[in-house]
A and B are shown apart, each in its own frame.
Chain A
């Protein structure tokens, strides 16, 4: 055995048990979601008797609304969030990344400072504002912020990406008579697609998990998201753990699918922002 092969063999020896350890709770979770209450506390990974009704009963746990409503609500909200986030992050990112305008550096510093601002400082007045406008118990407080540039993190990501695109491309188009708007739509937009995928993916994932805002702004059950549906489940007098774990598993399924389909964009996206921060 060469020393190189020996080294990689050693790495596998560490990596295999470690990655199994990390993923183990997830595997246990899949098994547990099919277990009866009696079997749940047993350490076996998979049940002896597969309780498919955990899924069917869990789906319709509340007599009034099923998870069909909750999933439909969440996906509707996600559609607007992703659309708003991708569109406006591209616009704002281009503005900061390419155009020279007065006070640009000042505004960019402000943008970066908001990255460190805890949301809890603004949450009370924001709630008061939405309350006055009659938007509490609607999706507007959840969707609207995504149409304002989608957040500092995503704008920064797009800016970093645009800075990596050679300026010659813009200049050539400018000589051909294109305006800044034309350059944005015809040159920059197609080139920043990878960054926009990342923005879209993370907007989806983070809005899905943004339990705090959902809890704050949605109060009628018919408008509940999946997360709030789960919360209602947990708050029941006697929690049906098998059903709850089954529904929880379904609730992370969209994120999991996106992760596996778009793996490439994930690592790239985090890497571009992270390394240059």
Chain B
């Protein structure tokens, strides 16, 4: 009887205390996430310029986007191209580097620092400025090329190469992905490799049969977040190329930003936001479904 009472009291206490402790997040979620999402859905069916109140236009925004807006198509193509190249390149490089760094070696912490450092500052406007200068017509890159008697071009001002420059910049910032891979590699038991060596497996076989399956949950994590982040790329496209030349780097988020905060078409921009959410949602879902076929979790009994 006595014990039961205490038990009941404790449970109650945790119910209240639990909500007290999570209240900052819960409040923020309701106020700055849930409510804006609902409102953005409503606004996407309206015309709204901040000055007048929103007017209902039904699916007008969506029709305009899908049927008439050439910039929408262009920005989608640019963004998908960026994601398609930037994400795998970054994943591949960071995995290779993580494997290189995953050993006990004198001076390893210095190597890690040097390799991680660019990622620390990579997303900032400062590095965007640096990049713009280095890849300019008179920039540093072209001078290096001239040593090999290759005539450089204005990498950033040429529509054919501008996007590649941004992809390269994103690849230069592979540090956080690399650190996550590194942590994953440290979890793989060494004796797996040793017994494979005894069986005569080479480097490539060990990589393919041990590293990849054992690391697959981490690869999956990096892939999902990598895609989501790549879709939201803004600063470098805004600062280095401003979407140009000839809209060749006109990223989706840049398009959304200009619609909302340059032209003040809030309804239209909300519709663009919802389309982005759907795209990312579908891709994430596909990722999760596909993961059943290639991601191995230890608790399932491995392979």
Q: Which residues of A contact B (CB under 8 A)?
A: 8, 11-12, 14-15, 18-20, 22-23, 25-26, 28-29, 32, 40-43, 88, 91-92, 94-96, 99-102, 104, 107, 110-111, 114, 116-129, 131, 144-145, 147-149, 155, 179-181, 184, 205, 208-209, 211-212, 216, 227, 230-231, 234, 241, 244-245, 248-249, 251-252, 255-256, 259-260, 263, 266-267, 270-271, 274-275, 277
Q: Decide if B197 is an interface residue (CB 8 Å cutoff).
A: no
A202 to B31, CA, bound (A): 24
Q: Decide if B115 is an interface residue (CB 8 Å cutoff).
A: yes
The range of chain B's interface size is 35 or more
- Known contacts A11-B105, A111-B25, A125-B43; decide if A41 and B126 are in contact (CB<8 Å): no
Distance of A5 from chain B, by nearest CB (Å): 11
The residue that B24 contacts in the complex, of A23, A102, A149, A227, with Cβ under 8 A, is A149
- Give B25's nearest chain A residue, CB to CB: A149
> Is A122 a contact partner of B40 (Cβ separation < 8 A)?
yes
> Is B269 a contact partner of A274 (Cβ separation < 8 A)?
no
> Is B235 a contact partner of A211 (Cβ separation < 8 A)?
yes
- Known contacts A29-B130, A231-B125; decide if A148 and B28 are in contact (CB<8 Å): yes
> Is B232 a contact partner of A205 (Cβ separation < 8 A)?
no
- Known contacts A11-B103, A121-B277, A123-B260; decide if A148 and B25 are in contact (CB<8 Å): yes
The residue that A245 contacts in the complex, of B22, B37, B129, B138, with Cβ under 8 A, is B129
- Give A271's nearest chain B residue, CB to CB: B183
- Known contacts A128-B50, A230-B125; decide if A274 and B111 are in contact (CB<8 Å): no
A248 to B228, CA, bound (A): 28
Q: By CB atoms of chain B within 10 A, which of A121, A179, A244, A255 has the most?
A: A121
A8 to B101, CA, bound (A): 11
> Is B24 a contact partner of A91 (Cβ separation < 8 A)?
yes
- Give A22's nearest chain B residue, CB to CB: B115
Q: Decide if B52 is an interface residue (CB 8 Å cutoff).
A: no
A-B contacts, 26 listed (Cβ < 8 Å): A15-B111, A19-B111, A22-B118, A23-B114, A28-B140, A29-B130, A32-B140, A41-B139, A43-B140, A92-B24, A95-B19, A96-B22, A116-B280, A118-B228, A118-B273, A118-B277, A120-B276, A122-B32, A179-B13, A248-B126, A251-B124, A251-B126, A255-B124, A256-B120, A274-B184, A275-B183
